[in-house]
Amino acid sequence: MVKKGDAGDAGKIFTISKANTIIGRRTPQYVPDIELNDEVVSRRHLEIVFRDGKYLLQDLGSTNGSMLDGDRIAPGKLYSLKHNSRIGLGFDGDEGHVVIVFKESESTNVLTGDKKKAASKGKAAAVAWLKIDERKKEARVDGQQVNLSRKEYDLLLYLHGNAGQVCSRDEIIRAVWPESVDTAAISDATIDQLVHRLREKVEPEPSQPSRIVSKKAFGYMLV
């Protein structure tokens, strides 16, 4: 629940429904899972992570910093959340400029979307034009083997495993750049360039992509 911040946000309640939830400010190119309008909020400010039955919080390298229960937190480090934890975005004295209160309820454990995505990977893999041999790390497009860089292969493998479903930019970052400590350092342009290079190798007409399609403000989908 938003307790303090932009007048249009105050009082809003957001339900956590994913294993990884990004809190930030909407831009023409990016829509976070939880949108806040205050100017101190970065595009990708915070992330709430559900791991091993617990909710954790990390600052994603935001411009104006973050707080948890009155203490400043370090970017990229995970902190435990508990019922009624106060999350601050930006600084205003001893409290955040924007304040969100985290509340655990029956609805906070809804991970249906991610479970469905994981369960559907086997079915989604049946894409007629693409065959991937994970053991050999090889991909065949229309029956012909294609030479891919490591990142191109990782991206294609992730999209293939979620064929028919929109993959957000944050999901792509976690799948393709798992080594990145600061996911905010992976720009939209970096993702777009990687998609462009991959399209050059898998699309019949790269200038008119029909296999890796864009979903504006959401991400990419392999069909």
- The pLDDT assigned to 217 comes to 77
117 versus 13: the higher-pLDDT residue is 13
Q: Which of 10, 75, 5, 9 is nearest to 45 (CA)?
A: 75
Q: Is the pLDDT of residue 50 over 70?
A: yes
Average pLDDT over residues 193-206: 96
Q: Which of 9, 56, 12, 59 is nearest to 37 (CA)?
A: 9
Bridge partners (DSSP) listed for residue 214:
220
Return all residues near 152 (Cβ < 8 A) that are at least 6 apart.
Answer: 194, 197, 198, 201
- The pLDDT assigned to 115 comes to 39
- Give the global pTM: 0.50
> In 3-state terms, what secondary structure has residue 28?
coil
- The pLDDT assigned to 111 comes to 38
Average pLDDT over residues 33-62: 93
Average the pLDDT over each of 20-34, 138-152, 172-186, 188-202 and give the range with the smallest value: 172-186
Q: Is the pLDDT of residue 89 over 80?
A: yes
Residue 105's pLDDT band, with cuts at 50, 70 and 90, is low
- The pLDDT assigned to 218 comes to 84
Which tokens go with 173?
């970052």
- The pLDDT assigned to 54 comes to 87
CA distance 139 to 142: 10
Average pLDDT over residues 62-70: 94
120 versus 98: the higher-pLDDT residue is 98
81 versus 170: the higher-pLDDT residue is 81
Residue whose token pair is 């339900």: 15
- The pLDDT assigned to 119 comes to 39
pLDDT > 90 fraction of the chain, expressed in percent and rounded: 59
**If you average pLDDT over every residue of the chain, what do you get?**
86
- The pLDDT assigned to 98 comes to 96
Q: pLDDT of 125-151, one tens digit each?
A: 468 999 998 888 899 999 999 999 999
CA distance 17 to 52: 15
- Between the CA atoms of 201, 207, 213 and 215, what dihedral angle is there, to the nearest 10 degrees? 140
Average pLDDT over residues 52-67: 93
Average pLDDT over residues 194-201: 97
Residue 181's pLDDT band, with cuts at 50, 70 and 90, is low
Q: Phi, psi (5° rounding) for residue 215?
A: -120, 95
- The pLDDT assigned to 126 comes to 61
